[in-house]
Amino acid sequence: MKFAIYGAGAIGAFLGAKLSLAGEDVTLIARSTLQAMRDRGVRVRSPQGDFTAHPAVTDDPKKIGPVDYLFLTVKAHSLTQIAPQMGPMLGPETAVVSAQNGIPWWYFQRYSGPLAGTHLESVDPGGIISRAVAPGRVIGCVIYPATEMPEPGLIHHLEGDRFSIGELEGVTTVRCKALARALIKAGLKCPIRSDIRRDLWVKLLGNMAFNPISALARGTMGEIAAHPFTSRLARAMMEEADAVARALGVEMPVTVDQRMAGAEKVGPHKTSMLLDAEAGKPLELESLVGAVVELGEHLGVPMPNTRAVYACAKLLDQVSTARGR
């Protein structure tokens, strides 16, 4: 099968390297890491064993042509920039695998629950992504590996190998089975989920609280969970998000207490949003927090704690990006 992976950061390059090593036809679409990956391949350091793979790498999607699966592994706020460039890779049967954190642009597509058909301006301003990707192409994906890229082309795979996938309607399709087989052949776990939206919420419950608090306080997950004030704030935010999820008919299989205990066990781990803030990069704020606030507005769910943290994180995003640090 033919794969394109748009976004050759730590997750995209790790996935592309695994698929390439398993014999799949893979092209990474990269920018700043392009030359390093062309020169030295994708070098992966992992507890499961180190390896180097040499997938094709380009910065021009037009050179790839139609693919069977197009993985989107860029940060959610970059989707509006790349959406108009996807066209040359989309053949009649191309599936687009959305692998972003948080609430995706497609959440209410092919959906029959509360707020069906709602457009979320926070994650798809002006409908740019929705116009570029037809709902029938989308396969949802929740990513669990923890990876870092300390230098271009070098991936530190810390833990995790699961990429959960699912159709928006919850059915098991031929294309999902084929994708799961390819990822499993590459040494990854790929369960096909009957409710991919619930899986998104389970991961989001912790991310929507710990990510922005860590960026604002410059604290690790363990430090936030152990501190009496920030732990109460994180708990309050998660309770607000849980109320939004329940209003949408999503029953969480984990409790806020379990998420707090899990964060404390993680210990000195910097969230992706904290790393971006330290590097002066744009924060993945809208899909993780802004969309939850927008949903709260639609559903009439009060979110005072989330709104306060969101407001401060919005200013941090503006100031740190402008300063580049």
252 and 202 Cβ atoms separated by less than 8 Å: yes
Paired tokens of 52? 């180097």
Q: Which helix (H) or strand (E) holds 71?
A: strand 67-72
Residues serving a catalytic function are 203
d(CA 53, CA 187): 14
d(CA 47, CA 103): 31
In angstroms, the first-to-last Cα distance of the chain is: 41
- Tell me the DSSP string of 92-110: EEEEEEE--SSS-TTTTTT
- The secondary structure of residue 55, as a DSSP letter, is -
d(CA 143, CA 137): 19
